[in-house]
């Protein structure tokens, strides 16, 4: 492999050239939002784009540092703000760094032992996700919440655990403000 550089375009909110672009629509997140009836009602009309991920083109291999740009759009399903699926790393003892570039939101984190933490993120926030912590971002702002992430190449992504259990905390709008509340469906 040879050294290379790519361009993070702040205006276009993408990495060029991009290794891979992934889009997550509401239909990819069925059952993840608290209000299942509202999810299904939205899906009968439309399939909104919730977030896009632009990968920087580095292989997910030991020794490498894959990185990507996430563009999480503003919106809500009922009172719950748009969010990413969230995941643990398969190699649990791997960390990750997020750098906030635009907009605002929360980085929700939790461990399998039931510890939970939420960090507020905005442009310039460098958030550190330690080993063993699952991570999900939530857009609580009016515009796109954009951040850059870097993680160890052998980390791997476990989405199944979160699909089963959900996150300990939900980020909901109450009187126009984001509030964190315990997730009644957390298992």
* Residues lying near ligand S6P in the complex (CB under 6 A): 53, 68, 70, 84-87, 96, 135, 137, 149, 151, 157
In the complex with ligand S6P, which residue's Cβ is closer, 34 or 70? Answer: 70
In the complex with ligand S6P, which residue's Cβ is closer, 79 or 158? Answer: 158
Give strand pairing partners of 64: none
Angle made by CA atoms 69, 44, 84, in degrees to the nearest 5:
20
- Of 108, 85, 69, give the one whose Cα is nearest residue 28: 85
Q: Does 110 bind Zn ion (CB under 5 A)?
A: no
CB of 150 to ligand S6P, least distance (A): 9
CB of 135 to Zn ion, least distance (A): 6
CB of 112 to ligand S6P, least distance (A): 16
Q: How far apart are CA 146 and CA 69, in angstroms?
A: 7
> From the list Zn ion, ligand S6P, none, which binds 68 (C-beta under 5 to 8 Å, kind-based)?
ligand S6P
- Of 120, 111, 14, give the one whose Cα is nearest residue 71: 14
CB of 82 to ligand S6P, least distance (A): 12
Q: How far apart are CA 86 and CA 84, in angstroms?
A: 5
């Amino acid at each position: 492999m040879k050294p290379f550089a790519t361009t993070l375009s702040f205006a276009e909110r993408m990495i060029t050239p991009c290794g891979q672009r992934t889009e997550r629509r509401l239909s990819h997140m069925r059952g993840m939002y608290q209000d299942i009836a509202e999810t299904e009602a939205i899906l009968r009309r439309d399939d909104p784009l919730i977030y896009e991920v632009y990968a920087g083109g580095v292989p997910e291999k030991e020794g490498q540092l894959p990185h990507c740009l996430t563009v999480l759009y503003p919106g809500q399903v009922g009172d719950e703000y748009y969010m990413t699926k969230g995941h643990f790393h398969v190699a649990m003892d791997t960390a990750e760094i997020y750098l906030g570039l635009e907009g605002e939101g929360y980085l929700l984190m939790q461990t399998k032992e039931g510890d939970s933490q939420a960090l507020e993120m905005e442009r310039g926030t460098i958030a550190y996700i330690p080993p063993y912590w699952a991570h999900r971002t939530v857009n609580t702002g009016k515009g796109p919440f954009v951040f850059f992430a870097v993680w160890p190449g052998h980390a791997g992504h476990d989405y199944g655990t979160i699909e089963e259990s959900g996150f300990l905390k939900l980020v909901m709008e109450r009187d126009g403000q984001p509030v964190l509340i315990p997730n009644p469906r957390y298992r």
